[in-house]
Structure 1
Amino acid sequence: MQQIAPDPGPRVLHVTQPVDGGAARVVTDLARAQLAAGLHVTVACPDGGDLAARLRALGADVHPWQATRAPGPSLVGEVRRLRRVVGAVRPDVVHAHSAKAGLAARLAVRGRVATVFQPHAWSFEAVGGPTAALALKWERWGARWASRVVCVSDAERATGVRAGITGQWRVIPNGIDTEHFHPAPVDSVRAGIPLLAEVDPAAPLVVCVGRLCRQKGQDVLLRAWGEVARRVPGARLVLVGDGPEARRLRALAPESVLFAGAVADAVPWYRAADLVVLPSRWEGMALAPLEAMGCGRPVVVTDVDGGRESLPAALAPRCLVPAENPDALAGTVAELLLDPPLRESLGRLGRRHVLSAHDVRHCAEAVAGVYRELITAHAVRPVRAEYRESIHS
């Protein structure tokens, strides 16, 4: 009797550039969950970094895709290379993460395969002048080739709608691995971090985790830090991460500011902190505050897209500040550093909130629901054959 081979499950192709920061962590978490659920997961991304290695270790197929972080003359070649990857993988769903991958993937696929675009913050917010106008024009035009646009917050979706972008929207808040990001005693954690060896164990410690770039607003935090240090003598600030603004930020920083550089796992830094701050200029919904709350630490975030939605209602009055306002930021940070019982209470509230609203398993299941919806509605398999013929013609 002839045996019928089992269906290997839907084939998902994630496309991502950048390969660091929040987008890379989202791709990693989704790949882990989707592999466990029996999906065939392939990721197209620039090779040679930690992301590709982590994905291969999970069991995902990785297709090296040479692509720069920003759009430019290399885009034509990037789209051509990605089209070849799509032809080889024959996915049921293409899931493109962030502006650059979203641009290249939609141009490569052009709606022939069900396509999910997840901006992870809008591209036109990251630039100014003619470049912003061009980015907005593309997002409006390219929306026709996205079967679904997945936003990580209602505010991110609202920003897109106000900007004139039309599409089939889904809001799926970011999630974290709550078993990995969990509390631990501050004293025991600090003792194991070499950078803090010369720091007074009793010194109030503020930690900011994020790529050192204009978006994350570390320069605003440094402008606020002088007032914090005046009001809270002995306080120290640690910037965790690397990026294009590293040299400029080091030049601005006083001696009470330490630079940890890029780290493979930020958990020890969250646990070592008395307070975690993310002074972003724009976001979709940043992972750092969620991870910090998962570790039971209080957070201060700016009131940008996703900022308010990442906090439980009880935390917003204490922990939310206007963007690009160093005075307000300094006041909030100093007040919390001077009130340990309040920090402890806020940390407990944050942990409970993340457990109930931002577990990565909930996020992964919601994304899987979008895939099922698209595969059923678009009858992808016949379209996939048509697409394969078109890219080889």
Structure 2
Amino acid sequence: METLGDTEILAPHFKRRLSGVTSSIIQLVPAQRRHGDRVATIGPGLPAFLPHLPLTALLGLWSPPRRRAGRIWHARRNIEMLPGILMRDLLRMKLTLLFTSAAQRRHSAWTRFLIGRMDGVVATSARSGSFLEVPHRVIRHGIDLARFHPPASPEDEMAATGLPGRHLIGCFGRIRHQKGTDLFVDAMIALLPRYPDWTAILCGRITPEHTVFGDALKGKIAAAGLAERILFLGEVEDVRPWYRRLSLYVAPSRNEGFGLTPLEAMASQTAVVASDAGAYAEMILEGETGAVVPAGDGDALTRAIEPYLADPARAELHGERGLDHVRAHFAIEREAAALSEVYEALFAGRPVAG
């Protein structure tokens, strides 16, 4: 268990359900610790291997850590900004507030109010930064290249799945309209009859409020006679081997925050076709590591996928280039180092924008 006295940066996580924020914290905090930042998580829904403080530790925030005059509260959601403001302004705890914004839309009036009371703001992409009305610094998310890596054993090959065909195409994430799952399914129904060597998988939960949506997709697949080639795997225990087994990953979201899955796929040496939602277009080199299409355009998505199904060697080449691209520009250590600079600026009372 972490001790509050040694902790200088708190990474609150006040949402139990797995999300992109969760994935980012899981990968980033260990890298920050390796970099030397004394950061710990607080709140539910995170794995036990992360440095973690109990909620009761909040009662100790009137006292500073051993080496600093106060602590940084690094929020990533409204439900984490608000407690920080209350603790700093009402309870007079020794906190400096930092917010990371990934939103790809104009913020609500409430969110703008909260952001306006932060001591520093980071945007995860140039696009998300364009929606901010306060000074900020752009720091793109990175990927843990030790956790997400190219195939390294027979278990990482498509043959290990026992599924039909020679090549695997996948779409990972919650099954819902926002994620564009229906666009992926429609593309597979259109394409797979012409490419018998390919099988499609979907990994992700169908939550109760999206059961009707998921059942409708399964009905379309069955009606097309493709139930054995377009498979819903549910929420798998470990998605990382599935990235390595793919020849092509598809991220068809209609809207997104940042969106880590294309980076996870490229780090696994897998080519990517994605919409231009979130920061996807800032990750992918068009025609070199994959392809980007307008969000919500199912026809464009189908057209972008087909060349890879027709030429698996193209997918292999773009997967190799994608791995090189991620290693050069999206290693998690780069994000950790940039955030460390922001923390030091906040500790010193300097602005973080730039």
SS in 1 for 2:348: helix
Aligned residue number for residue 74 of structure 1: none
User: For residues 45 and 263 of structure 1, do their structure 2 counterparts lie closer, same or farther at Cα, with a shift above 3 Å needed?
Assistant: farther
- Compute the RMSD of aligned alpha carbons: 3.0
How far off is 1:313 after superposition? Answer: 5.1
Q: Does 1:13 align with 2:10?
A: yes
Structure 1 or 2: larger helix share? 1
Q: Which residue of 2 aligns with 1:248?
A: 213
Q: CA deviation at 1:280?
A: 1.0
Deviations 1:358-386 (A, max 9, x none): 000110111111111001117xxxxxxxx
Query: Is the 8 Å Cα contact of residues 158 and 168 (structure 2) preserved in structure 1?
Result: no
Q: Which residue of 2 aligns with 1:101?
A: 80
- Cα distance change on mapping 1:352 and 1:234 into 2, 3 Å: closer
Question: Which residue is equivalent to 1:67?
Answer: none
Q: Distance in 1 between matches of 2:84 and 2:28?
A: 18
One-letter code aligned to 2:111: E
Hey, what's the Cα distance between the residues in 1 that align with 2:198 and 2:175? 21
Deviation of the 1:285 alpha carbon: 2.4
Letter matched to residue 100 of structure 1: I
Task: Name the CA shift for 1:274/1:246 in 2 (closer, same or farther; >3 Å).
Answer: farther
Work out the CA distance in 2 between the residues paired with 1:270 and 1:206.
9
Percent of pairs with identical residues? 28
Q: Which amino acid is the alignment partner of residue 27 of structure 1?
A: I
Sort the Cα spacing of 1:213 and 1:94 in 2 relative to 1 into closer, same or farther, 3 A: farther
C-alpha contact (below 8 Å) 2:165/2:198 kept by paired residues: no
Deviation of the 1:103 alpha carbon = 4.4
Question: For the residues of structure 2 that align with 1:191 and 1:275, how far apart are their CA atoms?
Answer: 12
Match of 1:260 in 2: 233
TM-score by length of 1: 0.75
Q: Match of 1:179, SS? A: coil
Match for 1:212: what amino acid? I
Measure the CA separation in 2 of the matches of 1:98 and 1:177: 22
Question: Match for residue 4 of structure 1?
Answer: none
1:177 paired residue number: 144
Q: List gaps (5 residues or longer) in structure 2.
A: 222-226
Question: 1:279 & 1:85 partners in 2: Cα distance?
Answer: 45
Report how many residues are paired: 330
Q: Cα gap change, 1:92/1:224 in structure 2, threshold over 3 Å: closer, same or farther? A: same
**Aligned counterpart, 1:352:** 324
- Structure 1 residue 155 displacement after superposition: 0.9
Are positions 1:276 and 2:249 aligned together? yes
The 3 A distance-change label for structure 1 pair 120 and 63 is farther
Report what 2:260 is aligned to. Answer: 287
Matches for 1:1-393 after TM superposition, within 5 Å: 11-19=8-16, 20-46=18-44, 49=45, 51=46, 54=47, 56-63=48-55, 86=61, 92-110=71-89, 113-122=95-104, 136-158=108-130, 160-161=131-132, 166-184=133-151, 188-190=155-157, 196-197=161-162, 199-202=163-166, 204-233=167-196, 235-244=198-207, 245=210, 248-253=213-218, 254=221, 255=227, 256-312=229-285, 314-315=287-288, 319-377=291-349
